[in-house]
Structure 1
Amino acid sequence: MRLRGVLLPAAVLSLTMLAALPLPSCIPQSTPPQPPPPAQPPPPLEVTNPILSGDFADPSVLRVGEDYWAAATSSEWAPHFPLLHSKDLLHWEVVGPIFQTAPTWSEGNYWAPELAQDKGRYFVFYTARQKGGPLCVAVATAAQPSGPYTDHGPLVCQELGSIDGALIRDENDTLYLVWKEDGNSRSLPTPIWAQPLSEDGTRLIGAPTQILMNDSPWEGQLVEGPHLIKRNGWFYMFYAGSACCGRDCNYAVGVARSRKLLGGWEKNPLNPIMKSNESWKCPGHGSVVTDTQGRDYFLYHAYRATDFVYVGRQGLLDEIQWAEDGWPTINGRRGPGGKVLAKPAAFSEDFTSSSLATGWVWPNGRQPTTSVEAGLLSLSPPADRAADPIGAVFARSTNAGNYTAETVLDVSGLPAGMAAGLSAFGDPENALGVYVRSGKVEVWHRERNTHEVLTSLDAPTSADGKLRLRMTAKDGQTYRFAVSPEDTTWTEVGPELSGAYLPPWDRGVRVALTAGGVAGASARFDSLRITPN
């Protein structure tokens, strides 16, 4: 090899050639740091619906730290608005009511409690009917989500009715109430309004602004149940449209968005983003929660297709997916998702504890007198209902259309004329059941407040002074009754009865212990069991 005509020595030549060769792999080389692999999103929860089994319409959900809180419509059942707690969004426990007694300004229609938090304060915005007046949106507050809640009364009571209140701060951090005007109750349009709230959230100030209207064919006679969130510079409103309840329902879920709270709302062109499928009917009226892993979920209600209206609207959960265009979808618009619960849980209480299990209810304004002693529940009607053979009603929600309910009644000290038994209860004017009265076992029904005994037979003799009463429900609408003195041999009482008339439009049928007919007297029960078949 020559350099500018000079012949290089062999040693120099060898070094030059060696330097030109690539370094062997055993010699360390510096490499730039590699970015960490992208974080994988957590897998979705394994949801089995319903997660709120039974009649839990219009559910609202709130996360506080690692705890989840939910509330639901109680309608004409007291105490008002069941409050539930969960640690994982999947398993829930009723921990009490929001209101043990009805707010003094109200007289019924306890619907749609919306849980909210703002700057360390907790709210429930709820619907109720003003005494002698229209439906109103009212508010109660608490220092913690578990309560106790202090009622502040109505915020808005429009002539057509005001329902479904929700809380949001606008783009300028002003606190607002959003609600629906109930125009559909008079075959009129149903605007959704927004109006500023005082900073403590207990008074409306300023003027209302209409922000949405039912103007799409699928929405039918109404839009309602607004729930608002902020995400990536947008306000999103999840809402329900069309008929909510009963056999002819066609409820579905829509979503709209806007950059500003008071204007510019556009509806998702793919609405409704959720509607009925083979497993669930008429889904809607829900709220959004972000879990501890950053996933967004929608908690809402629907009728299970196999049980339909008789159980009521049950609480379902589905994950929300956000598309690249910013619109949310749920289960690919295929309707409610998740696995379907194969067999709901049974309920059983033996009254061996001095405190009753949570979840017992009674008709609004008709609280019975109850006490537990020596393994027996004593049940007596309010004084103004004492003459009614079902004046005392103490009930549990059902969670299946096919079930067997059994109670054990102490007849040893049952006063003459006192009726005590077991009922499928729609409301005080529509119910059916079996009771023991004056040595007889009687099957009865009440429709439109007309009470009639259909079958009467002599009560069997019981060695222990107790009789077992059984009610078997089929498809949520047909019922059979039986009696046994010792839980081995059962005697059918009367023919199969139709209960198709029972469910009021906004609630499901309850299983009730009943008593009445004698002033100042009580009936004693030593258990209640409800077993899905």
Structure 2
Amino acid sequence: MTIGCLAQSAPPARSTVMYRNPVIAGDFADPSIIRVGNTYYAVGTSSEWGPPYPLYTSTDLVNWAYIGPVFKNMPDWTMGSYWAPELFHRNGTFYIYYTARRKSDKRSYIGVATTRDLRQGFTDHGLLLEWTSEAIDAFVLEDAGKLYITWKAYGLDKGKAIEILGAELSADGLKVTGKAFPLLTAERTGWEGGGAEGQALFKRGRFYYMTYSGNACCGAQCNYQVGLARAEKLQGPWEKFAGNPVLVGNDAWKCPGHGTVVTTPDNRYFYLHHAYNGVDFTFTGRQGVLSELIWDDKTQWPTFRYGNTMPAQAESPLGAVQKKEADLAIDFETERQVPWVWDVSLPKPSFTINGGFLHLPAASTSLSGNFLGLVIKKGTYTFSAEISPQQDVLQSICLYGDASNALGLGVRKGSLELWQVKDGVRTSLKNQPLPDTISLVNIQLHSRFGRSYTFDWSTDNVKSQSITDNPLDGSFLPRWDRAPRIGISVQGDSKNSSLVRTIRMKYE
């Protein structure tokens, strides 16, 4: 989006239709949003999950549809830490400026990719910017016909203050051509806590404005908050708002931050950012939250419409009614399109769907087996799968944190096994025999706020029975810059594969 799209006009007539956050549920941190015509596009962090960077689209800012990933395969120069992607659109081309960890030295730097059709994925142009020990959180803007990139620098350089830097880009947006200049320096004391990141810039009137985030972004001890700054020239000097922080957490939504600003066709300003749900917290991850900015014409500073915390509900931007988060019901007899994710630290799982079953090859080299997962939208849910037992193959419904931490209930010919992988050690928690004649077993995981789990099983001839005597604690699953996924894992000889008939996700 060009800066010229951000002019302000008279306040629009207000509707009375309300929406509730999140607008993009589940693990969707560091969201970037743009508007092209009357259509909005958003992309978010995928961290250690592939395929990298989920893309969504909307026409009303409150109902979002998944398009697909930015990359179908990981860019060759990268190995993980797929953070903070930023969308940009110019002359019919979509750009994405993304952070990833480089294979050669495991340092996080910024790459760039382009496409003219978001649904076809992006063509990667490789590494764009490396800067000392780390360069992350790119944001690109156009001013007076020139392109500029900004980024967070010195986050890993001991004894040096974190800064937001900027530099001019080439006309095609694919190379850094200008000398770096400073925009903002993080304060070591106060609300910023020595951090400044997740910057988003836009222009209104004579000022450039910046939203940025400070303090600890992630995990159970997070205290992320949002600040504002402005300048009459991009190169500064930048003035921080005296009333910072302007957005902080509360009981409903915790640790808000790292987003971008977009305007509606009627010139209302909205900030799409992330925050943790106050109930599900880190177990569901940082979700896509929408907050409106309004303007004080006297001071020429924006403020958040509902105060410095996020309301439980707010006025729908375009008067659209928000749809309820849909449950998922996949029958592999008829359905082939599933938004699967996987662990990028392991080989990408290959799978087929035929004969009415999902065929995911088994793996013996991973403690959890081959895994395909789904993003969890709410912490309280039931996930189930109908599975045909196979000899010497353990097919499980699995809650997966990483290669060293997972929890599942599996079935093989003649038995059920409740198991966990914790800190790289696999433990069989309980085994239960099954008749060899059973051709189809339904196994279920029940989650309560993403914190505790119970498992059930049933067949056509056997009513639902619990295999867990007491709820299991899943707090050992890693939850810093990402949240666990739920899905199917298959353990055993790679010559064998799963026979999964259906999967279902029902949110309570």
Q: Tell whether the structures are fold-level matches, with TM greater than 0.5.
A: yes
Query: How far off is 1:330 after superposition?
Result: 1.1
In the superposition, relative to structure 1, how do residues 254 and 147 fare at CA in structure 2: closer, same or farther (>3 Å)? farther
> Secondary structure of the residue that 2:488 maps to in structure 1?
strand
Alignment of structure 1 residues 253-264 onto 2, 5 Å: 253-264=226-237
In the superposition, relative to structure 1, how do residues 389 and 302 fare at CA in structure 2: closer, same or farther (>3 Å)? same
Query: How far off is 1:510 after superposition?
Result: 1.0
Q: Which amino acid aligns with 1:270?
A: G
> Secondary structure of the residue that 1:183 maps to in structure 2?
coil
Unmatched tracts of structure 2, length 5 or more: 1-8, 315-321
Unmatched tracts of structure 1, length 5 or more: 1-37
Query: How far off is 1:487 after superposition?
Result: 7.7
> Secondary structure of the residue that 2:70 maps to in structure 1?
strand
Moved more, 363-372 or 421-430: 363-372
Q: Confirm or deny: 8 A CA contact 2:283 2:479 kept in the other structure.
A: no
Matched, 1:304 2:304: no
Instruction: Pick one of 467, 484, 504 that aligns with 2:479.
Output: 504
Matched, 1:373 2:345: no
Higher relative contact order (CA 8 A, sep 6+): 2
Q: Distance in 1 between matches of 2:489 and 2:149?
A: 41
Q: Confirm or deny: 8 A CA contact 1:423 1:514 kept in the other structure.
A: yes
Q: Confirm or deny: 8 A CA contact 1:181 1:190 kept in the other structure.
A: yes
Query: How far off is 1:457 after superposition?
Result: 1.1
Q: Distance in 2 between matches of 1:409 and 1:187?
A: 56
In the superposition, relative to structure 1, how do residues 43 and 488 fare at CA in structure 2: closer, same or farther (>3 Å)? farther
What is the alpha-carbon root mean square deviation over aligned residues? Answer: 2.1
Q: Which residue is equivalent to 1:281?
A: 254
Matched, 1:41 2:15: no
Q: Confirm or deny: 8 A CA contact 1:389 1:515 kept in the other structure.
A: no
Alignment of structure 1 residues 211-226 onto 2, 5 Å: 211-215=183-187, 217-226=190-199
Q: Which amino acid aligns with 1:444?
A: W
Query: How far off is 1:146 after superposition?
Result: 4.1
| Post-superposition CA distance 1:65-96 (Å, at most 9, x none) | 11111111111111110111112111111111
In the superposition, relative to structure 1, how do residues 160 and 469 fare at CA in structure 2: closer, same or farther (>3 Å)? same
Q: Which amino acid aligns with 1:484?
A: S
Instruction: Pick one of 342, 350, 356 that aligns with 1:362.
Output: 342
Q: Distance in 2 between matches of 1:160 and 1:409?
A: 48
Q: Distance in 2 between matches of 1:467 and 1:476?
A: 24
Q: Confirm or deny: 8 A CA contact 1:454 1:494 kept in the other structure.
A: no
> Secondary structure of the residue that 1:527 maps to in structure 2?
strand
Q: Which amino acid aligns with 2:444?
A: R
Query: How far off is 1:221 after superposition?
Result: 3.0
> Secondary structure of the residue that 2:444 maps to in structure 1?
strand
In the superposition, relative to structure 1, how do residues 138 and 487 fare at CA in structure 2: closer, same or farther (>3 Å)? farther
Q: Which amino acid aligns with 1:259?
A: E
Query: How far off is 1:461 after superposition?
Result: 5.6
Q: Confirm or deny: 8 A CA contact 1:422 1:511 kept in the other structure.
A: yes
Matched, 1:117 2:98: no
Q: Distance in 1 between matches of 2:135 and 2:28?
A: 21
Q: Confirm or deny: 8 A CA contact 1:184 1:222 kept in the other structure.
A: no
With structure 1 as the length reference, what TM-score do the two structures score? 0.87
Q: Distance in 1 between matches of 2:434 and 2:134?
A: 50
Q: Distance in 1 between matches of 2:436 and 2:326?
A: 33
Q: Confirm or deny: 8 A CA contact 1:99 1:149 kept in the other structure.
A: yes
Q: Which amino acid aligns with 1:490?
A: S
Query: How far off is 1:523 after superposition?
Result: 0.6
Matched, 1:248 2:221: yes
Instruction: Pick one of 472, 488, 491 that aligns with 1:513.
Output: 488
Q: Confirm or deny: 8 A CA contact 1:389 1:418 kept in the other structure.
A: no
| Post-superposition CA distance 1:310-335 (Å, at most 9, x none) | 01111011211011211111134331
Q: Confirm or deny: 8 A CA contact 2:214 2:224 kept in the other structure.
A: yes
Q: Which amino acid aligns with 2:47?
A: S
> Secondary structure of the residue that 1:501 maps to in structure 2?
coil
Q: Which amino acid aligns with 2:194?
A: Q
Q: Distance in 2 between matches of 1:294 and 1:343?
A: 27
Q: Distance in 2 between matches of 1:403 and 1:188?
A: 45
Q: Which residue is equivalent to 1:227?
A: 200
Q: Which residue is equivalent to 2:455?
A: 481
Structure 1's consecutive aligned runs of 4 or more residues displaced over 3 angstroms after TM superposition are: 144-148, 184-188, 340-345, 385-389, 460-463
Q: Which residue is equivalent to 1:435?
A: 410
Q: Confirm or deny: 8 A CA contact 1:59 1:287 kept in the other structure.
A: yes
Instruction: Pick one of 40, 51, 62 that aligns with 1:68.
Output: 40
In the superposition, relative to structure 1, how do residues 238 and 39 fare at CA in structure 2: closer, same or farther (>3 Å)? closer
Q: Which residue is equivalent to 1:401?
A: 379
Q: Confirm or deny: 8 A CA contact 1:427 1:504 kept in the other structure.
A: no
Q: Which amino acid aligns with 2:28?
A: F
With structure 2 as the length reference, what TM-score do the two structures score? 0.91
Q: Which amino acid aligns with 1:219?
A: E
Q: Which amino acid aligns with 1:372?
A: I
Number of residue equivalences: 487
> Secondary structure of the residue that 2:53 maps to in structure 1?
strand
Q: Which amino acid aligns with 1:393?
A: F
Q: Which residue is equivalent to 1:59?
A: 31
Q: Distance in 2 between matches of 1:431 and 1:155?
A: 36
- Look at both structures and tell me which one has the larger radius of gyration over its CA atoms: 1
Q: Which residue is equivalent to 1:239?
A: 212
Instruction: Pick one of 120, 136, 145 that aligns with 1:163.
Output: 136
Q: Distance in 2 between matches of 1:147 and 1:259?
A: 39
Q: Which residue is equivalent to 1:446?
A: 421
Q: Confirm or deny: 8 A CA contact 1:135 1:158 kept in the other structure.
A: no
Identity %: 35
Q: Distance in 2 between matches of 1:505 and 1:267?
A: 29
In the superposition, relative to structure 1, how do residues 147 and 330 fare at CA in structure 2: closer, same or farther (>3 Å)? farther
Q: Distance in 2 between matches of 1:467 and 1:518?
A: 21
Q: Which residue is equivalent to 1:95?
A: 67
Q: Which amino acid aligns with 2:414?
A: G
Q: Which amino acid aligns with 2:174?
A: T
Q: Which amino acid aligns with 1:509?
A: P
Alignment of structure 1 residues 142-153 onto 2, 5 Å: 142-153=115-126
